[in-house]
Amino acid sequence: MPGRERGSTHRAASERAAIDRLLDANLDRAREGLRVLEDWARFALDRPDLVARTKDLRQRLGRLHRTSYKLARHTASDPAAGLTHPAQAERQDGASVLAANAGRVQEALRVLEEFGRLEDPELAAEAASIRYALYDVEVDLLQAGRDGDGRRALLRRCHLYLVTSPVDGLEAVVAAALAAGLRLVQYRAKPDAPLDDRRRFEQASALRQLCHRHGALFLINDRIDLALAVGADGVHLGQGDLPPSVARRLLGPDRLIGRSTHRLEDLRQAIADGCDYVGVGPVNATPTKPGREPVGLAYVTQAAAECPLPFFAIGGIDPGNLAAVRRAGADRVAVVRAITAAADPGAAVATLLAGLEAEA
């Protein structure tokens, strides 16, 4: 019995030491990542308010970084010290570095929250509080670095546009699509959908975070108030929605405004209204627009000849008819079911992107 007790005591001490090392590593990771965000706010954005917010989060963690945690871990004996990942070399700009470090901090905070409960409840509670605060800080940092020119430049590089529909596991679908290379998403939840505004806000906020972490644009269908509430990159307006001039007054000069068009007159008006891009369609009949007659490929050809803005052909487009849409003159398409209803959304995105890159 005494031997068993000693063995149990030894295992408990060993586990406690392991948790101390784990907490130290993740405190270091979180504090270092927050310092990256703080310095970006200071030197790149010149935003003292954001510097103060990130610094406060970093110092709150620092106050809970016990000496016992620091003494529990030795870098020389840590088998993971110095490990890198190929994704680090793929970061091409400040925004991608910012998003990567925000994600790194959030992951570390989650570990601190889970394991802190075992022996440091104060640290666990503070990690949870900081993790939720960081969501808003991350958005504000990303928005501060996104001016109108940057958004419009990214828009011009986008050739595939996902318009969401209310499907099960929507966040997972969008995450898979973004991982496969999608860089433009519109959140579409129509008024007759079985969602209240609180749930729409929650969904839109989650999708906006996903998009910004992947350096993708995120727009809201119809709802200017929701776009402002979640910090979206802009809105998409139908012909029956508020005029673009009103949307511009509310959104300011730096956010994107798109407009659905169904004929040349609509297209010309959208250009005159200062829209940033237009949708052209529906090319084919589609259940997402019940009762609307398809415009066919003729209007796509007209838009290709006349439209100086980026335009996205939309309406029942999938890999089977994409080549015909390309031949009609569209090099950008917007899709709904081709991704949201796909068994593998990531593979669907890869197929569509390959089709858009092929010779028309």
For the annotated catalytic residues, the residue numbers are 188, 260, 289
Cα–Cα distance measured from residue 169 to residue 16, given in angstroms and rounded to the nearest whole number: 38
Cβ atoms 155, 256 nearer than 8 A: yes
Environment class of 169 (CB within 10 Å of its CB; exposed 0-12, middle 13-18, buried 19+): exposed
How crowded is the C-beta side of 169, counted as CA atoms within 13 Å?
Answer: 12
Q: Facing residues of 277 across strands?
A: 258
Sequence-distant (6+) residues with CB within 8 A of 60 are 126, 130
Cβ atoms 315, 284 nearer than 8 A: yes
Q: Facing residues of 312 across strands?
A: 279
CA distances from 326 to 56, 61, 173, 294 (A): 52, 53, 25, 17
Distance of CA 2 to the CA centre of its chain: 56
CA distances from 59 to 71, 269, 348 (A): 20, 53, 44
Environment class of 191 (CB within 10 Å of its CB; exposed 0-12, middle 13-18, buried 19+): exposed
